[in-house]
Amino acid sequence: MGRITLEGVTKSFDDTKVIHGADLEIEDGKFVVFVGPSGCGKTTLLRLIAGLEDVSGGRILIDGKDVTRLAPAKRGLSMVFQSYALYPHMSVRRNIAFGLKMARMPKSEIERRVAHAAGILNLTDYLDRRPGQLSGGQRQRVAIGRAIVREPKGFLFDEPLSNLDAALRVQMRLEVTRLQKQLKTTAVYVTHDQVEAMTMADEIVVLQAGRIEQVGTPLELYERPANVFVAGFIGSPRMNLFEGPVAKRNGATTLGVRPEHLRVQPGDAVVADGCEAWGGTVIQAEHLGSDTFVYVDVPGIGTLDARCTGELRVQVGDTVTLLPDMHQLHRFDAQQLAMA
Amino acid sequence: MARRTPVPRIVLTSVVAWTVGLVIFFPILWMLLTSFKTELAAFSASPSFLFFHWTTENYVAVWTRSNYLEYAWNSVVISLGSTLVALAIAVPAAWSMAFSPTRRTRGILMWMLSTKMLPPVGVLVPIYLLYRDAGLLDTQLGLVIVLCLSNLPIMVWLLFNYFKDIPRDILEAARMDGATIGKEIVYILAPMAVPGIASALLLNVILAWNEAFWSLNLTSSHAAPLTAFIASYASPEGLFWAKLSAASTMAIAPILVLGWFCQKQLVRGLTFGAVK
């Protein structure tokens, strides 16, 4: 079991409030990703759950038990740090076994668990090496090994892949997700990379300036963002958001349309009743082969980004018409909240 | 390809380094030479450097006249005792300041260091009276306490500078792994900070071994260390240069040998963190 509950959790550093009353329910076995821009408080929230920071207000419960004042090790959680935080003077074997040794587990059980974890993570050949003799990916695996041997109620990951190169990051992303599904252990994962969030999470928690903006599955956030911030943050390339007469005409203060929901038609276009068509000039076109990204300057709206599948033969200076999918328009009111 | 240092430059730096080294070492060398001279030769107005009548009579005289081993034992107990007690206090103190700093940490560190700027003689009378009333005069414990207190600021500073370069994440990882503060220090921090702790330890032993002010003022016979032993040869009966030199050589020999073997450790520890 590993149900984590936050009830009105606040955190202040001196006079600065960094977490403003977070309420959250993380179900057992779920992979939950905290995502948000730098300084939004996602790492602080993770450290509060871990017990590495004291909460200023509110309660943290694990499986219904109040752990707010409990020491980190007593919460039954394991953490993987951004810097790996391996013990440099110990071998891989001793690094992985350290937590079990602290728990005074019998030697035979420690050996069994270390061997099992090393097997899962392909570390068996490296058990007697020091962290300094390992590559970045191997070090990350040791950090994960250290977390899994304790068979915790939950894993806490603090941007664990950000120090790896792009190719290794993708590989480790798959490995971490596979491992979590295999172990069925609750995981809380912090990242600023929304692609990581979308691909790994069962549920995403979007944070901004110490507040939880929205909680939902990746597709829920993509299809029904609760406000302008989430709309702009989730999805790559980001959603086109604009105000003005066109938004007003559609009954909104801010109107949003994702690049993949804009069809680009060279020249003018005939428009059906109740549909929108925005004429403009191509200011940039990126031809990737599989996709074409077209940036169009539309008078009265501004620059809109459109994503077309396959190759679209347009050039800078061409006149085009953008045809939005009317069912995929996102309307936001004056408070920047999504309208029903 | 690495560039070769030009030969004239090597010669110049070698000459300068040897000159500076010899100037610094000269008093010790002179003391060593004097200890092998007769009292007459030691007092000579035109001292001879190497060509004199070499004798070990001063060592024999010093050895038979005073109980060298008792003084040496006191020195060992006092310097090791004060260093170990200081280490036991300084490690947790530096740990807390390095890893859980508050707004006042810098101020506390500066205040600790400022106590070293006060001439010890300024507090001699109150400490003497306190020691007299507490029965600590001329006791090893008394000297252990006073030397521990006087060297503690330096030790905390050294360890603080060393500890603050150790990544905090690693200690937090240990905490997540279930290590108590004590285990965190013993299993993680201490092994990672061995060079820093070793150099702080060595420096303290050397400072305590060579300390004279408190030793001379707070001891007389029972707990007198080697610094008091040297001073006993500058007595009212007259100044015996050769015997004083022999006594001094015998007093500094153990620490000189220790320093020689640990010089690499000492330099590494003292310069750690200065260059990234």
B93-116 pLDDT tens trace: 999 999 888 889 899 999 988 888
How confident is the model over A242-252, as pLDDT tens digits?
999 999 988 99
User: Considering only alpha carbons, which residue of chain B is nearest residue A147?
Assistant: B177
Enumerate the H helices of chain A as residue ranges.
Answer: 42-50, 92-102, 107-120, 136-148, 166-183, 194-200, 218-223, 228-233, 245-249
- Which amino acid is present at A112? R
What is residue B56's predicted lDDT score, i.e. its pLDDT? Answer: 87
A3 and A166 Cβ atoms separated by less than 8 Å: no
Dist. CA B26–CA B243, nearest whole Å: 19
Residue A45 burial by Cβ neighbours in a 10 Å radius (0-12, 13-18, 19+): buried
CB within 8 Å: B177 and A83 = no
Burial of A273 (0-12, 13-18, 19+ CB in 10 A): exposed
Q: How far is residue B208 CA from its own chain's centroid?
A: 5
Q: What is the mean pLDDT of residues A76-90?
A: 91
Name chain A contacts of B177, Cβ cutoff 8 Å.
73, 98-99, 102, 146, 150
pLDDT number for residue B274: 43
Write the pLDDT tens digit of every residue in A114-128.
Answer: 999 998 888 899 999
The confidence score (pLDDT) of residue A185 equals 92
| Identity at A291, one-letter amino acid code | D
pTM over 0.95: no
ipTM > 0.90 for the complex: no
Best mutation target among B176, B181, B189, B197 (most A Cβ atoms within 10 Å) is B176
CATH of domain B73-271: 1.10.3720.10
Residue A280 pLDDT more than 80?
yes
Q: How many CA atoms does the CB half-sphere of A233 hold within 13 Å?
A: 28
Crossing angle of the two packed helices A107-120 and A92-102, in degrees rounded to 10:
130
Closest chain A C-alpha to B37 CA, distance in angstroms: 53
Asked if A339 and A331 count as a contact pair (C-beta separation under 8 A), the reply is yes
CB-CB under 8 Å, A99 with B177: yes
Q: Is the minimum CB–CB distance between B173 and chain A shorter than 8 Å?
A: yes
Read off the pLDDT of residues A298-337 as tens digits, 9 standing for 90 and up. 998 999 999 999 998 899 999 999 999 999 999 999 999 9
Beta strand A57-62 with A4-13 is antiparallel
A299: helix, coil or strand?
coil
Question: How confident is the model at residue B236, as a pLDDT?
Answer: 62
Interface with chain B: mutation pick from A77, A82, A89, A96, highest number of B CBs within 10 Å: A89
With an 8 Å Cβ cutoff, are A102 and B177 in contact?
Answer: yes
| Residue type at A313 in one-letter notation | R
Which chain A positions have a beta carbon within 8 Å of B187's beta carbon? Answer: 98
- The mean per-residue pLDDT over the stretch A16-25 comes to 92
Q: Does the pLDDT value for residue A167 go beyond 90?
A: no
- DSSP letter string over B249-269? HHHHHHHHHHHHHTHHHHHHH
| pLDDT tier for residue A169 given thresholds of 50, 70 and 90 | confident
Q: Which residues contact B238 (CB under 8 A, 6 or more apart)?
A: none
Does the structure show a pLDDT above 50 at A94? yes
| Mean pLDDT of the region A147-167 | 88
The 10s digit of each residue's pLDDT in A217-242 is 999 999 999 999 999 999 888 999 99
| Selected residue of B102, B166, B177 to mutate for chain A interface (largest A Cβ count, 10 A) | B177
Residue A89 has its nearest CB partner, among B176, B179, B192, at B192
Domain boundaries, chain B: 73-271
Predicted local distance difference test score (pLDDT) of residue B1: 52
| A150 CA: distance to closest CA in chain B (Å) | 8
Please give the Cα distance from B190 to B127 (Å, whole number): 34
Positions of chain B with pLDDT under 70: 1-2, 235-238, 268-276
Whether residue A79 is predicted with pLDDT greater than 90 in this model: the reply is yes
